[in-house]
Amino acid sequence: MSENAESRLNVLGLELPTASGPAAKYANYVIVGGLMYVSGKGPFGNPKGKLGAEFTTEQGYQYAREAGIQVLAVLREALGSLDKVKRVVKVQGFVNATADFDEHHKVLNGFSDLMMEVFADQGLHARSVFGAVSVRDNLPIIVDSIFQVEDGQQ
């Protein structure tokens, strides 16, 4: 596979959308001390519903992957290139799920797998996943993330 994130993205055949903006009064991202904190992102098209009711684990995996594409779009817009990402540091997933749903980790793998595909070894990250009674706009998943970026990024 290619040597950098931008070329890996091309090999994967992924075209990034325009970065979505914040859903309320907060920053889309903040960079401090070489770390870029990306606010929570959800899947394309604002699907509504819960894992374990309206959606399957497999659908949730795809939604988490789509949230990852949204995050990549924010990174590229902010940094100019995904190649300025040194490492994926931390990922947190909030899965809108029924009380008996227990495959949150499999859902968030959609995001994690994408980070590994794009950033290779630097895509391996720490993570947490939580089941939520509700999330913004009744989305099936929201993912927030932290990245180490090249020094000098504002």
User: Per-residue pLDDT tens for 48-78?
Assistant: 999 999 999 999 999 999 999 999 999 999 9
Give domain status of residue 154, yes or no: no
User: Per-residue pLDDT tens for 106-116?
Assistant: 999 999 999 99
Would you give the DSSP letter of residue 105? H
pLDDT reported for residue 7 = 95
Order of strands, edge to edge, in the sheet holding 85-96?
29-32, 35-41, 141-149, 85-96, 126-132
Give domain status of residue 89, yes or no: yes
Q: Give 2's pLDDT tier (boundaries 50, 70, 90).
A: very low
Give domain status of residue 98, yes or no: yes
pTM for this predicted structure: 0.94
pLDDT reported for residue 26 = 94
Helices marked H in the chain — which ranges?
A: 5-12, 57-79, 104-119
Give domain status of residue 34, yes or no: yes
Residue 1 has pLDDT above 80, yes or no: no
How many domains is the chain partitioned into structurally? 1
Contact present, 143 and 92 (Cβ < 8 Å): yes
Give domain status of residue 61, yes or no: yes
Give domain status of residue 20, yes or no: no
User: Per-residue pLDDT tens for 93-105?
Assistant: 999 999 999 999 9
- The residue segments making up the domain with residue 132 are 5-13+25-149
Give domain status of residue 18, yes or no: no
Give domain status of residue 48, yes or no: yes
Assign residue 77 the CATH number of its domain: 3.30.1330.40
**How far is it, in rounded angstroms, from Cα 62 to Cα 39?**
19
Among 50, 145, 146, smallest CA distance to 107 is for 50
